[in-house]
Structure 1
Amino acid sequence: MADMVLRKLDDSIKQRLRERAARNGRSMAAEVREILRVALEEMPIDPNAEFKQRAASLRALTAGRPHTPAEILQREGREER
């Protein structure tokens, strides 16, 4: 396991951490580990997962339909001006 040093922690935060650790029957270090564990469990492993899911849904909705490449649409737009 790795060690970590936390610098420049506000005194009020340190006090709140001490109180929280005492309420939970843990040391301050154990409380910090628990806070980090819970916070990181809630984070998605892939931050783009929601976008990828929506993109896949859109591709499924438009499957089999003809598509015009973007470069052709851009060229046509320039020619219209």
Structure 2
Amino acid sequence: MAHALAPAATITIRNLDGRVKERLRIRAAMNGRSMEAEARSILAVALAVEVDDAPDLAEAIRRRVAPFGGIDLEEHPAVTIGASPSFDR
């Protein structure tokens, strides 16, 4: 299912540290862009996440508990399943 592009939005960033603003100005100049265009580029790159790069549920849980030493679980015992159903008459 494709997502429609959202209409352009405007944001205001208040209380931006002067050093950050200066670094943004320099980076924008180095890339031949306005500060606004550079900020858009930085946000687009920082927030671009490919679906394939997103962890699955098990990996997300592992990452969440890893700082606490992980979790050791007992191995689940094997389960015997019966014969497959027959659809012959």
Query: Is the TM value for this pair above 0.5?
Result: yes
Q: What pairs with 1:11-30 in structure 2 (closer than 5 Å)? A: 11-30=18-37
Which structure's relative contact order is higher, taking Cα pairs within 8 Å and 6+ residues apart?
1
For the residue of structure 1 that corresponds to 2:32, the secondary structure is coil
Moved over 3 A (4+): 42-48
Specify every segment of 5 or more residues in structure 1 that has no aligned partner in the other structure, as ranges. Answer: 55-61, 67-81
Letter in 2 for 1:39: A
Tell me the equivalent position of 2:15. 8
Specify every segment of 5 or more residues in structure 2 that has no aligned partner in the other structure, as ranges. Answer: 1-7, 62-74, 80-89
Q: Deviations over 1:14-65 (max 9, x none)?
A: 00000000000000010000001111114758855262699xxxxxxx8xx2
User: How many residues were matched structurally?
Assistant: 60
TM-score scaled to structure 1, two decimals? Answer: 0.57
Q: What pairs with 1:32-51 in structure 2 (closer than 5 Å)? A: 32-42=39-49, 48-49=55-56, 51=58
TM-score scaled to structure 2, two decimals? Answer: 0.52
CA–CA distance in structure 2, aligned partners of residues 41 and 18 of structure 1: 23
CA–CA distance in structure 2, aligned partners of residues 14 and 44 of structure 1: 32
CA RMSD of aligned residues (A): 3.5
Identity %: 44
